[in-house]
Amino acid sequence: MSENYEDPNLEEQPEEVNAGETITRVTGMFKDWFLDYASYVILERAVPAIEDGFKPVQRRIMHSMKDLDDGRYNKVANIVGHTMQYHPHGDASIADAMVQMGQKDLLIDTQGNWGNTLTGDRAAASRYIEARLSKFALEVLFSPKITDWQASYDGRRKEPINLPVKFPLLLAQGAEGIAVGLSTKVLPHNFIELIDGSIKHLQGKKFTLLPDFPSAGEADFSDYRDGKRGGRIRVRAKINQLDKNTLVITEIPFSTTTTSLIDSILKANDKGKIKVKKIEDNTSSEVEILVHLPPGLSPDKTIGALFAFTNCEVAISPLGCVIEDNKPLFVGVTQMLRISTERTKDLLRQELEIQLQELENQWHYASLERIFIENRIYRDIEEQETWEGVLQAIDEGLKPHIAHLKRPVIEEDLVRLTEIRIKRISKFDIDKAQQKIEALEGDIAQVKFHLANLNDFAIDYFKRLKKEYGAGKERKTVIRLFDDIEASKVIIRNTKLYVNRKEGFIGTSLKKDEYVTDCSDIDDVIVFTKDGNMMVTKVDSKTFVGKDIIHVAVYKKKDKRTIYNMIYKDGPGGATYVKRFNVTSTTRDKIYPMTKGKKGSQVLYFSANPNGEAELVTVYLRSIGNVKKLKFDLDFSDVLIKGRNANGNIVTKHSVRIIDLKEKGISTLRPRKIWFDDSVNRLNVDDRGELLGEFKGEDRLLIITQDGIAKTIVPELTTRFDDKIIILEKWIPEKPISAVYWDGNRERYYLKRFLIDNPEKEEKFVSEHPNTQLEIVSTDYRPVLEMGFYKDRNKDQKPNETVNVEEFISVKGITALGNQLYPEKLKQLNLLESLPYELPEPEIANPDDSEIDSSENFNDDEEHEGDFSQGSLF
């Protein structure tokens, strides 16, 4: 059938066989019917129109609600039934579409249980809930005089082709639909930002639109691509640490519910990727999910794992597809707003033109009425006996007085004059009639002015919408850049790694063999064998890596601080070499020789040092021939760190008997520079953001928050920081912290200076009273304050005072109250330039400290190799 389907002869007209009988090929029917069906689904069900932003069912719901609108609520079941006069499908699709629109809280005022978008709870049955059009919908959706109409599906009624929507409704509500071979996903945008964008477009300015989700959360729009096909955004839940064993989720990503979010957390827990003790869902009108952690688990690491392995972070791919002139159009949100704004401007023009026409008709008839009554033309018809004579008499009577009219008098005007009642003629007031005409002339002039300045009129229209309906519609989703979370760094160690060194097997199922470490099922393992080979492989139940394993550990990619110290013999009769190297990248399951590659090479000494430590070893030589010195020391700190492909330096050309560790070493790496990137609130070593300093292994970070909490932490790149932090810097233990706070209990200002005595403990240095407020914190050695005072009545203004903090108070404990600074509220409290302070002389750096050479392909030439046997070590 597939061969026949491509045959163009199959698309011929049906062939006549006998009189009254025809044969139609099935493939031709299938092709035509499928295209008809696909077109129907695309145009009539799944994809919204660019003109008004509605799908057909939504448009029919709005039209039906307008039919029924009397200012009171209607049962949704009643609205659904009324909509079925226009919609060719069942009541279920209408009710579902109406509930979705009602939950967006823009066009429909709802009453009753309309479900909960946060929890995913469904709405009550349509017979129990009620709805009516919102004031905003009545303002922007309807204008019958400029609406184009078409017959309904059964021809009994008229329905709008498109509603005259004077607002970028499609972008405000968003839209999602799947058709035959086509789909659309327009994300919702912020109400106020859309209006501002429309105004900027009318003003000829550039603008940018980014989605805003009703579920709030945080989003990274760096790859949004204007909502076009191929874009991608990342949305995250808002997660905070409630206490050391509890996390609280207060906002969820768009397209998720609390139920689906909790299910994803439980699934990740079952797979061992995270560890959760218990989850509580306290969500009602606002999200509150409590995630209880087992004791000793890092909250920061767990937050990263939640983003990496659960629906706490989701990726959404927008797809801007709309219907324009009955054809699909792929377009970005910026162009959508431009099209909508220009359409709104055109609709306003049409409304003004109709209003102008109506005002001119009113002015025309009011002028005729005044002429008719003021000049007593009605008396001319008293003698007429026929209808034609009456109209002719009026026409003749008007002719001397109508030169100033703006259009000719027609028969309809004459008929209207005959319908004026005697009572109206008798009570006619010429002055009031003239005032009415002048008022109409003023209105006409105003409408003409608006038409002449249509752009400004449209801008004023959008400004009025923003003023009347923009309250409470501020942006909910926080825009920020996300850091890339490496799953291997945040996953919980959910299994154990074992090794059989002699046979050369590693894996998680070798429970009878030697235990190595806890690991996760996505980790990589680095292995070194006695013959000098290295391999990196993925964690598995059992893997052969090579006999005589001398080192096995979890591998960290791009790790420049783990340094391997190695002494090896180059072949059976070759020299002995020493090398120090790191392994920053490899190809998985590939064997790399760490020696010069000669068959029979053997590793004599090996150590792995997580912080670049360089130990001292003793080398013992065999007593062969004329070797005079059989023992010497080798200090690895004298060996430069190079790439893993380097050959190393010659230790000796004599035979080595044994090598013993003499003394453990210290790190030979320079302190690590750490930066803080406030765009993602994370630490990094990539020169992004503010440099916090150079950190050695024992150095810590000082953190002070707005609520008066001070703590120090080891700087780990996986640490998360919230927005309450006001001080983040390298901690210098002997450097005092100065703080001014308003004590809510005593209602006065206090000044204190303190040191952190327990770096492992988080402590609050202000009182617990709810009205207590931290005013100023300084980590300078000798800070200076300036106090500004309020003016007392009937007294001169008190001049500002400065306070030398060092002289005002000595350094006390962190829990001390401090000294009273001022007993009343201050107008201002500022930090001035600190007094000079001479730092103690720094320690002299080790001249042999070396940075890591991360070159992967560097090989020592023989002329660059040093021979330790010719040096001072012998």
Q: Give Cα 99 to chain centroid, integer Å.
A: 26
Say how far apart CA 84 and CA 94 lie, in whole Å.
8
Say how far apart CA 614 and CA 608 lie, in whole Å.
10
Q: Measuring CA to CA, which residue among 101, 212, 214, 192 is closest to residue 473?
A: 192
Cβ–Cβ < 8 Å for 659, 618: yes
Residues ≥6 apart with Cβ < 8 Å to 144:
none
Report which secondary-structure segment, H or E, holds 425: helix 422-426
| 358-364: long-range pairs with CB below 8 Å, 24+ | 359/440, 359/443, 359/444, 359/447, 360/406, 360/407, 360/444, 362/440, 363/406, 363/437, 363/440, 363/441, 363/444, 364/405, 364/406, 364/407, 364/413
Q: Name the residue with tokens 């800070």.
A: 783
Cβ–Cβ < 8 Å for 517, 554: yes
Ordered DSSP codes for 359-394:
HHHHHHHHHHHHHHHHTTGGGGGTT--SHHHHHHHH
Q: Three-state SS for 812?
A: strand
Q: Is 86 a catalytic residue?
A: no
* Measured CA angle at 274 (ends 269, 278), to 5 deg: 60
* Measured CA angle at 459 (ends 454, 461), to 5 deg: 90
Burial 459-486 (b: 16+ CB within 10 A, else e): bebbeebbeebeeebeeebeebebbebe
Residue 342 gets the label, from left (phi > 0), alpha (psi -120 to 50) or beta, of alpha
Instruction: State the burial class of residue 671 (Cβ atoms within 10 Å of its Cβ: 0-12, 13-18, 19+).
Output: middle
Say how far apart CA 378 and CA 372 lie, in whole Å.
7
Residues ≥6 apart with Cβ < 8 Å to 39:
none
Say how far apart CA 141 and CA 104 lie, in whole Å.
16
Write down the catalytic residue from 128, 515, 620, 790: 128
Identity of residue 212? D
For 628, list phi and psi in degrees, rounded to 5.
-90, -40
Cβ–Cβ < 8 Å for 537, 545: yes
Alpha helices in 593-742 (DSSP H): none
Say how far apart CA 642 and CA 618 lie, in whole Å.
22
Terminal C-alpha separation, the chain: 88
Say how far apart CA 197 and CA 448 lie, in whole Å.
27
Q: Three-state SS for 523?
A: coil
Report which secondary-structure segment, H or E, holds 709: strand 709-713
Alpha helices in 166-292 (DSSP H): 169-173, 191-202, 258-270
Q: In the β-sheet with 690-695, what is the strand arrangement from edge to edge? A: 682-684, 672-677, 690-695
Q: Measuring CA to CA, which residue among 249, 218, 282 is closest to residue 476?
A: 218
Return the bridge partners of 803, or none: 785
Q: Show which residues are catalytic.
A: 128
